[in-house]
Chains A and B, each alone.
Chain A
Amino acid sequence: MKTDIVLCGVGGQGILSIATVIGEAAMAEELYIKQAEVHGMSQRGGDVQSNLRISDQPIHSDLIPHGAADLILSMEPMEALRYLPYLKPDGWVVTSCVPFVNIPNYPASDMLDAELARLPHVLSIDIERLAKDNAIPRSANIILLGAALHVIGIDAEALQDAVRRVFAAKGEAVVQANLKALSIGSEQIKG
């Protein structure tokens, strides 16, 4: 198996904790992993992305070539579109549909929706509403991860175990909230 994922969003939205969970699960599954992150200046409210590659064969490049990503997993709709050149023609976009507006000329949301609608495989979800409605307001990013479960190529159980280990230090309530988030996310594809 081999899955190339572009994780993206705006600095501070928590894309790195999604990457941590996938990385933890991939390591337990004895897979090869390469994960290029962005630290430093761009973390201050700018666009951020992380290239996450997992495979059962050795991986050479830390960066994903153009047209090779299986999945764009995005915390923000305009940011999802920014990385389309990296997506395979039949790749998936799983994104939050809630715009993060911190620039004056942010495009109208119907324009973003129209762009997303053109894609062959797209799941655009209001993860923030889902998180609030289910009383797990801090787990929106893990709902997004759950929604991409079918593309990642790692078993749900392995990801659940990874969530338990990653959040263990924060207590059982946080673990349970994130397990619930994973499950809510995974139901989105069926709807």
Chain B
Amino acid sequence: MKKLLLGDEAIAQGAIDAGLSGVYAYPGTPSTEITEYIQQNETARQRHLHSRWCTNEKTAMEAALGMSFMGKRALVCMKHVGLNVCADPFVNSGMTGVNGGLVVLVADDPSMHSSQDEQDSRFYGKFAMIPTFEPSNQQEAYDMMEAAFDYSEQQCLPVLMRVTTRMAHSRAVVRIKEAAREENPLNYNAKASNWVLLPANARRRNDLVTAQQTQLEADAETSSFNRLSLPTTSLTSEGERVPLGVITSGIAYNYVMEALAHRPNLSEEEEPNVSLLKISQYPLPKRLVRQLLDTCQRVLIVEEGQPFIEEQVRGVCENANILGRLTGELPRTGELTPDSVAKALGCPEHHTEGLQATASVILPRPPQLCQGCGHRDVYIALNEVLLDFEHPRVFGDIGCYTLGFLPPYKAIHSCVDMGASITMAKGAADAGQWPAVAVIGDSTFTHSGMTGLLDAVNEDADITIIISDNLTTAMTGGQDSAGTNKFEAICLGLGVNPAHVRVVVPLPKNMAEITRVLREEINYHGVSVIIPRRECIQTFKRHSKVKKG
């Protein structure tokens, strides 16, 4: 059967067809559509596969590990920075190993279309000693899911599958199986001596997993996902070399092929005079790399993200014949494009420069908070109240409301990672800052804000926390938010003084009340929580449509 699927959807379909029993995830661009696809899939529904959103990536990773412990196949999905949140269970899952197949799918976001950094998750795979897969196209992503689950069970290790934005969010026709593999039955094969990471057990496991790396590398050498193609006709005599070799991986492989296909003076039959190694399974297959290096004068390394392969190929020995992001042939940071790759390969850029419009007519159009969004009313009120103070500081967080940094609001002074608004406000208050205000969304609060609130309560920090509750996770498109209807109870349970947990409705007509409440709570010297609560305008429109329909 053929389907037109996003890379994310191909991964989801591949997981279901590989006998998945549960997906665990927190929404994060560009990984969100994997879990959404499974939530809506008919087979997944009939089989009651777990697909509810988790509170954060750490709870997701641990629950998936628990499912694997019982012998079933589990998938955990996240964006790259989510891997930082679950780094503890992720790295330790390399120590415990797995029982049922476990695939950790991480979607990196080079060029930071929707992110705070462009970290490359392949480094995590390497230091956790976990085998890593990296598909080049949607079909390979689909096929790789079954291979990854099988390999995970064969090696008793989790598999890290790394994709990037262009893979996750690009559609292509994918050939899929007619029927999904059966789920694994529950089993009790997981041994406590592997899963209880007391130092004595962990040391033994560490030796075993370290020794296992030789096997993982040998498997990468022969993996059907890693392909070495050498120009047979050009190398007539021993020791003769073609001018250029290319090592490439993931989505970058497509840009290389695009550029090579458009090289001038290359007839249909003529073989490209280039040695090419495509890597889609790690650890780095060193023998294949050496084989390629032996056939060419220079090698260009084209990979999406940070110079992961390039640094390993270069080793400690600077070699002028190894070219890539570290030598300036390719841009050091940011996403690759077909143009930057063609240039590095010495292929003339496609046609001419294309056309140009007068630069002054094309202005940047940054994203902004939607018309009618409750976060707007919160920032209008907050800005008005803070005019009372000489040096107010507002600590922001991750979500739509980060856009409050932009004009016309210019309302926040920091945004670092999920939950950092509350803890940074506390640190600032510890340093003597007043007023210190935290602005955090409902979903971000339950993801990573609650523990920080407990710290603040325990020291009665002089901070004002605004939990801007729109009843959903909106930047990623309106997924369920773990704490909906529970925020007052959570705050009271963590010990916030009930007199200083205040709820308002962020609407222009309520501006007088909102500013009054904000002013009172900023002037209260202790922890106060204000919850402006109104449904996200996007999900509200969607819900009204469903009601009408």
Query: A residues touching B (Cβ–Cβ < 8 Å)?
Result: 10-11, 23-24, 27, 32-47, 59-69, 78-79, 81-82, 84-89, 91, 102-103, 105-107, 111-112, 115, 119
Contacts and interface: CB of A to CB of B under 8 A. Distances in A.
B362 A82 contact: yes
A84 B357 contact: yes
B51 to A, nearest CB: 19
B2 interface: yes
A115 B337 CA distance: 27
Interface centre among A67, A78, A119, by most chain B C-beta atoms within 10 angstroms, is A67
B441 interface: no
A47 B369 contact: no
A84 B354 contact: yes
Contacts of A89: 351-352, 354-355
A27 B4 contact: yes
B354 A119 contact: no
A65 B337 contact: yes
Contact of B33 (A38, A39, A61): A39
B173 A40 contact: no
A44 B368 contact: yes
A40 B361 contact: no
Nearest to A106: B363
B258 A61 contact: yes
A162 to B, nearest CB: 11
Nearest to A170: B549
Interface string B44-79: 000000000000000000000000000000000000
B451 interface: no
Nearest to B251: A62
Contacts of B255: 60-61, 63
A78 B364 CA distance: 10
Interface string B25-52: 0000110110000000000000000000
B170 A40 contact: no
B356 A85 contact: yes
Given A34-B170, A40-B113, A61-B254, A46 B368 contact: yes
Sorted nearest first, the 10 A-B pairs with minimum C-beta distance are A40-B114, A40-B29, A46-B367, A67-B354, A67-B351, A61-B258, A81-B357, A60-B257, A44-B367, A65-B338
B29 A33 contact: no
B525 interface: no
B370 interface: yes
Interface centre among A43, A62, A68, by most chain B C-beta atoms within 10 angstroms, is A62
Interface string B109-129: 000011000000000000000
Contacts of A87: 354-355
B365 A38 contact: no
A46 B370 CA distance: 10
B339 interface: yes
A142 B473 CA distance: 30
B287 interface: no
Contacts of B355: 84-85, 87, 89, 91, 119
A43 B251 CA distance: 23
B357 A115 contact: yes
Interface centre among A44, A61, A65, A119, by most chain B C-beta atoms within 10 angstroms, is A61
